[in-house]
Amino acid sequence: MLDRKFIIQNLEMVRDNCAKRRALVDVDSFVRTEKARLNLERRLQQIQQEMNRLAKQRSVEAEVDHERAKELKREARLIKADLVEVAEKSDILLKQIPNLTHPDSPIGEEANSQEIYRSKYPKPNFDYAILDHKDLGEELGMLDMDSGTKVAKPGFYFIKGDLALLEIALMRFALDRVMEAGYELLITPDVANDKTMEGTGYFPRGDESNTFTLGHDGLNLIATSEIVLCGMYADTTINEEDLPVRVAGLSHCFRTERAAGRATRGLYRVHQFQKVEMVAICKPEDGERLHNELLAIEKKIFEDLELPFRIIDIASGDLGAPAYRKYDLEAWMPKRGDGGEFGEVTSTSNCTDYQARRLNIKYKMKDTNKNAFVYTLNGTGLAIGRAMIALLENNQQLDRSVRIPKKLQPYFGKETIRAR
């Protein structure tokens, strides 16, 4: 969340930022409510000061002083009750206000996002008909969407044989590159409580939620290990010399969204998948550098997979609330949509101190011994299912076998996937 005082002092800027991001937030209502909260706190402090003065002085009019003290106590009780209600409303409104936007981010809706990089690998030019990843996986006997529907519901699936081995190979492949870059591997919980979800900006309740909530204990299935990797540092003060923190989580991810249509067919948008996620925690002045580092790791992973891809600088209107700036890496998927489309396979976001304020993550400055909020950043090492889509469709051979990229072969153990 943004700093309360900053919003009041920069009301016009925050209003404009919300408009750029298409955020339907009543910033003026927050300011009115926050000022009311401050006035109540100020009056409560005045009452306490007067009560302390009455308690200390020995007045000849002791009875009058006693009556005044009773009046002040009654007023204080009423103010405290009002303060609880007003503070709660202020907190709710504050959490709806999105982060600021990087001055170089494109302004506008999704269509205004800008391509900033194209990989050296060209789109494949097939002189034979190919199948999309779903039909190919089923023909190879390695993808079973129907059984996933049978045991759960649409959006769940089984993968078998070499396709299952490919998932494991991709996981190890991505983890090695992430760890080589200095990120410590953690296998994380697949659930988080409401406080952690809200602290990272993933609202577990309401119409905007994309969260599977469990029926007890206020727990939720996570949509990304970013949630728990940031959450584990909540209410923590980190020594400056221990920054930046670099961690990578391996987890299952769960999302309620599931759209119909050719662009989201098969494994593209499912309810459960595995993902390697990176999180960096740093001093504010290191945020830009760490963001570029995360992007470079993602870029290297997909260059090593020999896939055609592009990097997109996401427009303001398509940014999630915590992100100050976000890049998406989109791989070419020859059978997505009508005639092939790029599809998002990773993203990386600089969240500045937005999540840190909500989670109360600070660092102690070495020179002054004062505490300040850290910056948090996140980036996808690899969303396994979507990487498999790109590999199956781009590397499909005439005989329906699938070529495995050279640098992935040591992890997979062979050069091709063939029918069972």
Please state, in angstroms and rounded to a whole number, the distance separating the CA atoms of residues 69 and 47: 9
Q: Per-residue pLDDT tens for 209-244?
A: 789 999 878 899 999 999 999 999 999 999 999 999
Token look-up 């044989």 returns 161
Q: With cut-offs at 50, 70 and 90, classify the pLDDT of residue 129.
A: very high
Is residue 346 a known part of a binding site? yes
Angle between helices 27-56 and 11-20 (to 10 degrees): 140
Please state, in angstroms and rounded to a whole number, the distance separating the CA atoms of residues 381 and 326: 15
Is residue 57 a known part of a binding site? no
The secondary structure of 304-329 as a DSSP string is HTT--EEEEE--GGG--TT-SEEEEE
Q: Per-residue pLDDT tens for 31-70?
A: 999 999 999 999 999 998 988 888 777 655 565 677 888 8
* Domains in the chain: ranges and CATH: 4-96 (1.10.287.40), 110-417 (3.30.930.10)
Q: Per-residue pLDDT averaged across 360-382, rounded?
A: 98
DSSP letter at 112?
Answer: G
CB atoms within 10 A of CB 388: 23
Is residue 277 a known part of a binding site? yes
Q: Per-residue pLDDT averaged across 334-351, rounded?
A: 96
Is residue 347 a known part of a binding site? yes
Q: With cut-offs at 50, 70 and 90, classify the pLDDT of residue 338.
A: confident
Phi and psi torsions of 355, nearest 5°: -75, -35
Cis before residue 98, ω within 30 degrees of 0? Answer: no
* Structure-token pair, residue 369: 């011994």
- Residue 206 confidence (pLDDT): 57
Task: Answer whether 390's CB lies under 8 Å from 266's CB.
Answer: no
- Residue 402 confidence (pLDDT): 98
* Structure-token pair, residue 184: 């410590």
Token look-up 């889509």 returns 389
Interacting residues of 214 by C-beta distance below 8 A, sequence separation 6+: 191, 220, 221
Is residue 67 a known part of a binding site? no
* Structure-token pair, residue 329: 């890496």
- Residue 202 confidence (pLDDT): 87
- For the cut 70, the answer to whether the pLDDT of residue 296 exceeds it is yes
Round the average pLDDT of the chain to a whole number and report it: 94
Of 137, 46, 37, 17, nearest to 88 by C-alpha is 37
Q: With cut-offs at 50, 70 and 90, classify the pLDDT of residue 287.
A: very high
Please state, in angstroms and rounded to a whole number, the distance separating the CA atoms of residues 356 and 234: 8
- Residue 56 confidence (pLDDT): 76
Is residue 378 a known part of a binding site? yes
Please state, in angstroms and rounded to a whole number, the distance separating the CA atoms of residues 367 and 380: 34
Is residue 272 a known part of a binding site? yes
pTM of the complete model: 0.93
Q: With cut-offs at 50, 70 and 90, classify the pLDDT of residue 204.
A: low
- For the cut 70, the answer to whether the pLDDT of residue 356 exceeds it is yes
Of 27, 25, 36, nearest to 9 by C-alpha is 27
Dihedral over alpha carbons 10, 15, 19, 24 (to 10 degrees): 130
Is residue 380 a known part of a binding site? no
Residue 296 three-state SS: helix
Please state, in angstroms and rounded to a whole number, the distance separating the CA atoms of residues 313 and 117: 9
* Per-residue b or e along 191-202, where b marks 16 or more CB atoms closer than 10 Å to that residue's CB: bbbbebbbbbbb
- For the cut 60, the answer to whether the pLDDT of residue 273 exceeds it is yes
Please state, in angstroms and rounded to a whole number, the distance separating the CA atoms of residues 346 and 275: 10
- For the cut 90, the answer to whether the pLDDT of residue 360 exceeds it is yes
Is residue 330 a known part of a binding site? no
Is residue 345 a known part of a binding site? yes
Is residue 224 a known part of a binding site? yes
